Structure 1
Amino acid sequence: MPMSQNFKDRLFPVLDKITQHFGTPFHIYDETGIRQTGEMLKKNFSNIKGFREYYAVKALPNPRILEIMKSMGFGFDCSSVTELILSRRIGAAGEDIMFTSNNTSHFEFLTAEKDGGCILNLDDISLIPKVPNMPELICFRYNPGPGVSGNEIIGNPEEAKYGVSDTQIIDAYRKAMAAGAKRFGLHTMIVSNERNYTYKVKTTKMLLELAEKISDALGIKFEFINFGGGLGIPYKPEDSPLNLEALGTEVTKLFDNFKSKHGYVPSLYMESGRYMTGPHGVLVVKAINRKDIYRKYIGVDACMTALMRPGIYGAYHHIDVLGKDMSGKTEVVDVAGSLCENNDKFAIQRELPEIKDGDTLIIHDTGAHGHAMGFNYNGKLRPQELLLRTDGSVELIRRAETADDYFATLNFKADKILF
């Protein structure tokens, strides 16, 4: 959501000094806000024994951020070899890691079982014989198909490439058991950035009913269900936030009912990424150019390689101008970068305070899927990342890319094959 007043009160008074020291552009993340969200998450699901958040590494894959998550007792949801390595480097091991990938290669399976292994979450029944060594604990990602509707971001489950189908799910566990699996989890994810908490309540009910069905068929018990991520944040000022308290209350009731009926209950896992860090990061840029043609354009010193969501998705990110507000002179502008793409815009026809060259702009909600989705088209280089610590200090947690980084993959030993 547009950054909290608390984050503003701590950042804005020192932002000039930060930009003078580090230069722009940069993403800066708020440790205090991240920790507050993590504690709120734990509090609202505290009555479910074994509840655990597995932070979605793809949202913000920075070691310093992952260290914060680990200190709160969270695990890590990984979907690539690099994310596995990153999580292990900050001390995560074994069941601290859930590896959820699709179209998984042999090399990825081998990496997943190294260094104490992980919770293997298989995306397809056809992957069972491809697992080099079936672990004792196995999980499957469930795709409910046309019986359940997703949301506008993920779309209809039957059109998604993810997961084991409803007609395959029991057989998937049966085959895993035959291959040596003895402990079981169940996973799904059918919404993304969803602020209507009832979607997740329905998802939880669906998973518990499916666990019951599989248990009856195969005589197994589930150690956990994982309802995925997808908890949404309000990017626009007028958007309502997710009612986390109501979600926790209603999901807990479902778990209590399951225990009353069966005498045991699985743990609840989730893999929130955006919800954990999205509102607690901003992209700070400088206005460097003004162009008045058919529209008014404010050119800044970053482009969509630092934040692709507005250009690719048409996503809204709130913008503040340091030291100015809407009570003064305003104008309608497009805020644009320097990439050779016309969709390289952080805002389109947005009313903002009048901006002059040298003004500092703060682009909100970049703490998830911001730097992580960066790219190098046009030879553009991704910016630095900073962390506003709870003690008020500001730490560089990733330097800006350099031209040497860009050309590094061109330094290789000559190799060719003749025919």
Structure 2
Amino acid sequence: MAFTERDGYSGGRYDLGAQKTDTELLCHFQGNPVRYGHADDPLSGATADHEITVTKRTMHSNQLHINGIAAQALVAEFGSPLYVYDAECIRQRFHQFHSAFPYLNLDVHYACKANSNLAILRLLREEGACIDAVSTGEVFMALEAGYPAHAILFTGNNVTDEEMHFLLEHRILINIDSVSQLKRYGQMAPDTDVALRINPNVGAGHHDHCITGGPDSKFGISHESLDEVHNILTQYQLRVTGVHAHVGSGFLDVAPFLEATETLLTVAGDFKALQFVDFGGGFGIPYAPAEVPLDINTLGQRLTDRFTEFCKAYGKRLRLKLEPGRYIVGESGVLLMRCNAVKSNGDRIFVGTDSGFHHLIRHPLYNAHHEIVNADNIQDQVFVYDVCGNICENADFFARNRSISYIREGDVLAVKDVGAYGFCMSSNYNARPRPAEVLIDYGRARLIRVRETVEDLLRGQREF
């Protein structure tokens, strides 16, 4: 049977089917590594020996514009704080990633935990993405966004029987995470297809919290358990149609990923009815000027060559699955927030904003770096600031000791590269509503999530 890049499998119960200035920064993905901006451009955050990828941003009259729309105008229309995403950047990132892996039978499963807004899910569906889901809630949203069940792969952790019943009812292929789950699955659905998540005994990520492989990880089936796995498969007549591994989130070095690849392929050879091998996600982006972008083209070619070699030995051309999330949407997003207060404490200058870690928790949780620009005063004398939020915690900072153009009360600040693990990790801590989300596409800003109100904080509560 002939396959195309978006064809599905031919058989199997759960088979997958298928005005501008010289400071303009354009999401333009050709060649590798991907680098843009000008070293002397205050918009780019770039230095003379490193340039970073960003969504399309321009400067007019000393103000930041996002795809031709002034940040100040966006805040005036939709309020502050505000998440803003660039649709074209998402599309280009998706196709740049896809083309980096020149394997014919490739499925790119967008890891929707990175950003699960329905508008973004639908956008990526139209581009040919499949879905990597980690909860029944994500499965539900993917179905609502129009993905067929066969385009969704579920990889949960500590999964309940109720969740597995939901997945079976909706004909979603389950990636089994543990021996216990496999046994329970076999009891409720014998003589069906399953996939297995293998712990590759190697992990990588931008923070310890994000490493999902290795002996200290709670994820996946260990090598020591594989004999028991085979016994359970035989007992319940389960067919393993796919194997999977995931080293962690946000890696920029390809070595751990390639090491895990060898481990997974060794395990894969023991299963004779495979239809796919899923090498997971975790593909990182550079957040700080000193970080070097992931060489995705080299990685893609090396993985393609190795997998082609494996399939030849296996005797069957399998599908190759990958699960990018951050890599697709991370650089598309900006968080706009307004400066409410500027105050000094000794030699420190604190910039207080109308947002906080309840909207973007990445700095307190991961010590993550996000470039911040003054969207209302891009080119001016630079001062060193601590940029903080309005939450009653001293961990509530977006950045410390950060050089930013002179900030005045009322200025709009832009936190860059927040398209992934931003809004989706937000909360109502301190009884504060969450912000609106806007998607800019073809020069038009469209509201894709309404701003919460204080009344929304009562939703679901009942009188005692």
TM-score normalised by length of structure 1? 0.91
Q: Is 2:257 the partner of 1:206?
A: no
**Are the counterparts in 2 of residues 255 and 265 from structure 1 also a CA contact under 8 Å?**
no
Deviations 1:220-258 (CA, angstroms, capped at 9, x unpaired): 132111111110100012211111110111011102212
Whole-angstrom distance in 2 between the partners of 1:359 and 1:248:
42
- Post-superposition shift, 1:135? 6.6
Whole-angstrom distance in 2 between the partners of 1:49 and 1:178:
35
- Post-superposition shift, 1:173? 4.2
Percent pairwise identity:
29
Match of 1:107 in 2: 162
**Are the counterparts in 2 of residues 12 and 322 from structure 1 also a CA contact under 8 Å?**
no
Q: Secondary structure at the match of 2:316?
A: coil
**Are the counterparts in 2 of residues 258 and 265 from structure 1 also a CA contact under 8 Å?**
no
Match of 1:120 in 2: 174
Match of 1:96 in 2: 151
Q: Which is helix-richer, 1 or 2?
A: 1
Whole-angstrom distance in 2 between the partners of 1:400 and 1:6:
23
1:312 equivalent among 351, 365, 368: 365
Q: Secondary structure at the match of 1:193?
A: coil
Whole-angstrom distance in 2 between the partners of 1:135 and 1:200:
33
**Are the counterparts in 2 of residues 282 and 365 from structure 1 also a CA contact under 8 Å?**
yes
Pair 1:363–1:149, CA change in 2 (3 A): closer
1:7 equivalent among 56, 66, 71: 56
Whole-angstrom distance in 2 between the partners of 1:286 and 1:89:
34
**Are the counterparts in 1 of residues 247 and 257 from structure 2 also a CA contact under 8 Å?**
no
**Are the counterparts in 1 of residues 204 and 251 from structure 2 also a CA contact under 8 Å?**
no
Q: Is 2:243 the partner of 1:191?
A: no
Whole-angstrom distance in 1 between the partners of 2:114 and 2:364:
18
**Are the counterparts in 1 of residues 54 and 331 from structure 2 also a CA contact under 8 Å?**
no
- Post-superposition shift, 1:310? 0.7
- Post-superposition shift, 1:270? 1.3
- Post-superposition shift, 1:334? 0.6
**Are the counterparts in 2 of residues 304 and 344 from structure 1 also a CA contact under 8 Å?**
yes
Pair 1:107–1:262, CA change in 2 (3 A): closer
Give the 5 Å matches for 1:78-97: 78-97=133-152
Alignment RMSD (CA, Å): 1.9
The count of residues paired between Structure 1 and Structure 2 equals 402
Q: Secondary structure at the match of 1:28?
A: strand
Structure 2, unaligned stretches of length 5 or more? Answer: 1-34, 36-43, 45-51, 59-64
Match of 2:349 in 1: 296
Pair 1:98–1:335, CA change in 2 (3 A): same
Q: Secondary structure at the match of 1:410?
A: coil
Pick which of 342-351 and 179-188 moved more: 179-188
Q: Is 2:96 the partner of 1:40?
A: yes
Match of 1:29 in 2: 85
TM-score normalised by length of structure 2? 0.82
Whole-angstrom distance in 1 between the partners of 2:113 and 2:257:
21
**Are the counterparts in 2 of residues 278 and 365 from structure 1 also a CA contact under 8 Å?**
yes
- Post-superposition shift, 1:170? 4.5
- Post-superposition shift, 1:271? 1.3
Match of 1:20 in 2: 76
- Post-superposition shift, 1:297? 0.5
Match of 2:327 in 1: 275
- Post-superposition shift, 1:7? 1.1
AA in 1 matched with 2:403: E
Match of 1:180 in 2: 237
Deviations 1:320-350 (CA, angstroms, capped at 9, x unpaired): 112434x631111111111000010111111
AA in 2 matched with 1:7: K
Match of 1:417 in 2: none
Pair 1:39–1:13, CA change in 2 (3 A): closer
Whole-angstrom distance in 1 between the partners of 2:164 and 2:112:
18
**Are the counterparts in 2 of residues 198 and 247 from structure 1 also a CA contact under 8 Å?**
no
Match of 2:452 in 1: 401
Structure 1, unaligned stretches of length 5 or more? Answer: 415-419
- Post-superposition shift, 1:207? 1.5
- Post-superposition shift, 1:177? 4.4
Whole-angstrom distance in 2 between the partners of 1:183 and 1:307:
39
Whole-angstrom distance in 2 between the partners of 1:178 and 1:135:
10
- Post-superposition shift, 1:119? 1.4
Q: Is 2:302 the partner of 1:247?
A: no
